[in-house]
Amino acid sequence: MSKNALIMGIETSCDETAAAIIQDDSSGIPKILSNIVSSQFDVHKKFGGVVPDLAARAHVEKIDLIVKKALMKSKKSLNDIDAVAATAGPGLIVCLSVGLNFAKALSLSLNKPFIGVNHLEGHALSPKLQTKLDYPYLLLLISGGHSQFLCVNGLGNYKRLGTTIDDALGEAFDKAAKLLGIEFPGGPKIEILAKKGNPNKFKLPMPIINKGGCNFSFAGLKTAVLKISSTIKTEQEKYDLAASFQNTIERILYKKTQVAFNEYLKINNNYSKNFVVAGGVAANKNIRKKIEEISNENKFNVFFPSLDLCGDNAAMIAMVGLEKFKSKNFDSHDLEARPRWQLDENAKFLKGAGVKI
Ligand SMILES: Nc1ncnc2c1ncn2[C@@H]1O[C@H](COP(=O)(O)OP(=O)(O)OP(=O)(O)O)[C@@H](O)[C@H]1O
Ligand SMILES: [Mg+2]
């Protein structure tokens, strides 16, 4: 075993084929030796969303090459690797299986431990690749499939404080983008269009803003965008709607983050005031600014992963792999993919009509 553990991470839960090599470091912040991500935008663009079978086929075609590239960039050889970690869920089962089986086969052939990783835990720990951060901390996960506040008590130990009762925030961005005629994946493009628009032009709803604790609801917002978008005649109005949409999200996050801070400190008033915001939507600069504002007002230290670590990547999977490796938390080669896998497995299912929040 090398002095500082060397971990390979593999990620194929949705439409990114990714591989990374990270190495433990005496500074307490692991070094990212390589972090290769291959996105499948072109495969899915004409369908307006991810097509599972096409995604899986693209993973099969690419995984070999991406892992080779990650190895070459890291300047390490396969025999230097101490463990192979791969996303085991949540995600599309046909996609998860590709990376998981590849990682199992590699670990068997190298006779090195295999570690199955929860993709969401990867997002949760992603800032640890850049900052020293002790447990516990508060997490806001805003991604394509999730919008949750969680208390991160330790590795594999989460308490959910709030979640979305309908759409995830990334999903809301993508759906709003589609309504504005923006090509998939539209979320990041809303941020670009919003720069040219008036954020106060359209008044959009903020569902459950004054109730439901730090739970979210974004479906009403999408319906409002649908109605307004059908009346839009000029490009400027399109920019104004993008800006108004983004501004409404910022206000919702500002308010709900205040509630989450209070709930987190209610669990234990002595908890560290460290706050991580992770997932694809955390790349949005206006959202970052607004969250920084509320964090400063409450004297919370806020940590955002760098932009390349916000969206799906394998360095974050290797990060979880490294922590599991250090505690000898290995998995058997029988481990199955888990399409559904909540971070807080005791949290109630909070979606659908009639749900009580
Ligand atoms: N700058 C941005 N502004 C708003 N949304 C963004 C931005 N960049 C990315 N997103 C959104 O982030 C989402 C992708 O994030 P991520 O890759 O973390 O999600 P996912 O892996 O599909 O979902 P999950 O992690 O919940 O399984 C997409 O919905 C995308 O539109
Ligand atoms: Mg993700």
Ligand 1 binding pocket includes 164 (Cβ within 6 Å): no
Q: What per-residue confidence (pLDDT) applies to 97?
A: 98
For residue 355, pLDDT over 80 is answered with no
**How many Cα atoms are found within 13 Å in the side-chain-facing hemisphere of 114?**
23
For residue 159, pLDDT over 60 is answered with yes
Entry field: residues in the chain: 357
Q: What per-residue confidence (pLDDT) applies to 353?
A: 63
Ligand 1 binding pocket includes 188 (Cβ within 6 Å): yes
| Domains, the chain, ordered by start | 6-129+309-326 (3.30.420.40), 137-304 (3.30.420.40)
Q: What is the pLDDT of residues 175-206, one digit of tens each?
A: 999 999 998 878 899 999 999 999 999 999 99
Using DSSP, state whether 153 is helix, strand or coil.
strand
User: Atom 12 (ligand 1): residue with closest C-alpha?
Assistant: 280
Q: What per-residue confidence (pLDDT) applies to 350?
A: 83
Write the DSSP symbol of residue 164: B
pLDDT band at 41 (very low <50, low <70, confident <90, very high): confident
Spacing, Cα 15 to ligand 2 middle (Å): 10
- Per residue in 170-189, is it b (16+ CB within 10 Å) or e — as a string? bbbbbbbbbbbebebbbbbb
Asked, as a colleague might, if the bond just before 136 is cis with ω within 30 of 0, I would say yes
For residue 226, pLDDT over 60 is answered with yes
β-pairing verdict for 274-278 and 137-142 = parallel
Write the DSSP symbol of residue 348: P
Spacing, Cα 143 to ligand 2 middle (Å): 6
Which pair of tokens denotes residue 263?
A: 């709930």
CA 302/CA 197 separation, integer angstroms: 28
CA 213/CA 23 separation, integer angstroms: 40
pLDDT band at 42 (very low <50, low <70, confident <90, very high): confident
pLDDT band at 49 (very low <50, low <70, confident <90, very high): confident
Long-range contacts of 20-28, Cβ-Cβ distance < 8 Å, separation of 24 or more: 20/70, 20/313, 20/314, 20/315, 20/317, 20/318, 21/70, 21/71, 21/73, 21/74, 21/76, 21/81, 21/318, 22/129, 22/315, 22/318, 22/319, 22/322, 24/322, 24/326, 27/132, 28/132
pLDDT band at 48 (very low <50, low <70, confident <90, very high): confident
**How many Cα atoms are found within 13 Å in the side-chain-facing hemisphere of 201?**
20
User: Atom 26 (ligand 1): residue with closest C-alpha?
Assistant: 145
CA 353/CA 356 separation, integer angstroms: 9
Q: What per-residue confidence (pLDDT) applies to 327?
A: 97
Average pLDDT, the chain: 96
User: Atom 29 (ligand 1): residue with closest C-alpha?
Assistant: 170
Ligand 1 binding pocket includes 145 (Cβ within 6 Å): yes
User: Atom 16 (ligand 1): residue with closest C-alpha?
Assistant: 280
Q: What per-residue confidence (pLDDT) applies to 116?
A: 98
- Cα-Cα end-to-end distance for the chain: 50
Measured in whole angstroms, the distance separating CA 220 from the mean position of its chain's CA atoms is 23
Ligand 2 (single-atom ion) residues, CB below 5 Å: 143, 312
Spacing, Cα 279 to ligand 1 middle (Å): 6
For residue 1, pLDDT over 80 is answered with no
Q: What per-residue confidence (pLDDT) applies to 356?
A: 73
Q: What is the pLDDT of residues 199-221, one digit of tens each?
A: 999 999 999 999 999 999 999 99
Q: What per-residue confidence (pLDDT) applies to 234?
A: 97
**How many Cα atoms are found within 13 Å in the side-chain-facing hemisphere of 257?**
31
Ligand 1 binding pocket includes 143 (Cβ within 6 Å): yes
Spacing, Cα 119 to ligand 2 middle (Å): 7
In ligand 1, which atom is closest to the CA atom of 186?
31
Spacing, Cα 78 to ligand 1 middle (Å): 31
More confident residue, 48 or 136: 136
For residue 68, pLDDT over 60 is answered with yes
User: Atom 23 (ligand 1): residue with closest C-alpha?
Assistant: 144
Q: What is the pLDDT of residues 329-344, one digit of tens each?
A: 999 999 999 999 999 9
Spacing, Cα 327 to ligand 2 middle (Å): 25
Which among 39, 80, 3, 30 has a CA at the least distance from the CA of 320?
A: 30
For residue 2, pLDDT over 60 is answered with no
Q: What is the pLDDT of residues 289-321, one digit of tens each?
A: 999 999 999 999 999 999 999 999 999 999 999
pLDDT band at 354 (very low <50, low <70, confident <90, very high): low
